[in-house]
A and B are shown apart, each in its own frame.
Chain A
Amino acid sequence: MQIRIFALIVAICMSLFPVTSVAQTADAPDVSREATGGAQTLEDILARQRGEVVDNGFRSSDIGNPDSAAAMSDQLGTLGGASDPELWRALRFGTADIRASNNGPAATVLVQDGGMKWLLFREGPLTTYGGYLLIGTLVVLALFFLVRGRIRIDGEKTGRTVERFKAVERFGHWLLAGSFILLGVTGLVSLFGRKVMIPLFGHESFAVLAGASKWIHNNVSWAFMIALVMIFVMWVIHNLPDRTDISWILKGGGIFTKDHPPAKKFNAGQKLIFWSVIVLGASISVSGLALLFPFEINLFAATFEKLNSLGISSLLGLGELPTALAPHEEMQYSQLWHAIVSFVLMAIILAHIYIGSVGMEGAYDAMGSGQVEEQWAREHHALWVDEVKAKESATIKGATPAE
């Protein structure tokens, strides 16, 4: 099954977050293999060990030929026309006739050399830069707090409140928030397990933690997806861009000034958070579903094909991306994509949590009780308060019996 729309979304997002490890340009020069009788040379082996891409075309089809097999009574006749190295090559390049008693397309792939690239990327750049991103975000937020302090309600409090979010809206928000935090923490446990947690806690303790993390991550994912749909349906209408966003952005949201640019129910900053959650959350959900149902949803061969045909991959200097992927490779790319997009969303959400709690006086009430101080609302969402008040007075007028 291939989800082409997702493939396109991934293609667009991919241009923002290129996965450089997938570059497939053969950078090894042409080598003469006369000395080895056509077999790989020392230079081939060294190039591979240096991490360069070696074109294996010269040997991948060298897997023997049953038709030219010697008679059974002859020397080596029992091998059926394929020597041991030829048999191993067939296994290595995925052309051997494998039968397995377990199910699934992965069962018959015995050697998958793309896995090494995935493993190194996952252990290396993914954990390193992902970790830096989260720590960096926390440092920036701490610095911002030190410089700007808590954003206070400037005017005098009125003591009156305005209903900002209904119970169902708050329920949807907390369903998304609670599940995202659980998924984020358990996802980090899975990713940093081998590198950080096993050395700290040992194999035995980590095994218990990893098992529990996996159960939570797999099953809580459904609450996240349900909540994502709820949030989209409830709030999309308030998050369509309009002209008030331009002045809000030009004034930097009033974050560094005491100025309060007028905004409707959601200001441009909140709209950015909303669309980040929707787009990145949907992308995480689809790649997550691909991982939940292994080998059923293959996203990346189709995506790479699109990137190649649109010329995006060559524009980004990635060369021609591979379009024939082993079943495991589809899963590996899904895992990397799932983790990269999740790191970005986690960083955004850390900022969102900051501004919704310690960063701004009166903001938490919107999602706590749903009732916000009228002065807070006037300062941050002036146009929205006017709308609410206009509706209220219209209702009161309509409810007054005619005399």
Chain B
Amino acid sequence: MKAMLTAFVAIAIIAIGSNLVLNQAGFSSQEQGAGSAVRLDN
């Protein structure tokens, strides 16, 4: 049971972590798809 719960927590940590890492590494859809003339933030 402990192994199962630890795994479920690990899934959450990996998901949040990968989202942070990919966004910071410039893999957001905005950075990948939009050119310099596009201002999605503003």
B7, B18, B32: the one contacting A178 at CB < 8 Å is B7
CA distance A178 to B3 in the complex (A): 12
Which residue on A lies nearest to B7, using beta carbons?
Answer: A174
Chain B neighbourhood of A226, CB < 8 A = 14
Which 6 pairs from chain A and chain B are nearest by CB? A174-B7, A170-B3, A219-B15, A101-B35, A175-B7, A223-B14
Task: Find chain A residues with CB under 8 A from B34 CB.
Answer: 102-103
Query: Is A77 engaged at the interface, CB distance under 8 Å to the other chain?
Result: no
Interchain Cβ contacts under 8 Å between A and B, 20 examples: A101-B37, A101-B38, A102-B35, A102-B38, A103-B35, A104-B33, A171-B3, A174-B7, A175-B7, A175-B11, A179-B11, A182-B11, A218-B19, A219-B16, A219-B18, A219-B19, A220-B11, A222-B14, A223-B10, A227-B7
Q: In the complex, are the beta carbons of A215 and B19 less than 8 A apart? A: yes
Shortest distance between the CB of B33 and any CB in chain A (Å): 6
Could you tell me how many residues of chain B have their Cβ less than 8 Å away from some Cβ of chain A? 22
B1: chain A residues at CB < 8 Å are 368-369
New A-B contacts (17) at CB < 8 Å, excluding given A102-B38, A182-B11, A227-B7? A101-B36, A102-B34, A103-B33, A103-B35, A104-B32, A168-B3, A178-B11, A218-B19, A220-B11, A222-B14, A222-B15, A222-B18, A223-B11, A294-B33, A367-B4, A369-B1, A370-B3
> Residue A216 at the B interface, CB < 8 A?
yes
Query: A58 on the interface (CB 8 Å rule)?
Result: no
Residues in chain A near residue B35, CB distance under 8 A: 100-103
CB of B16 to closest CB in A, whole Å = 7
A246 contacts B by Cβ under 8 Å: no
A293 contacts B by Cβ under 8 Å: yes
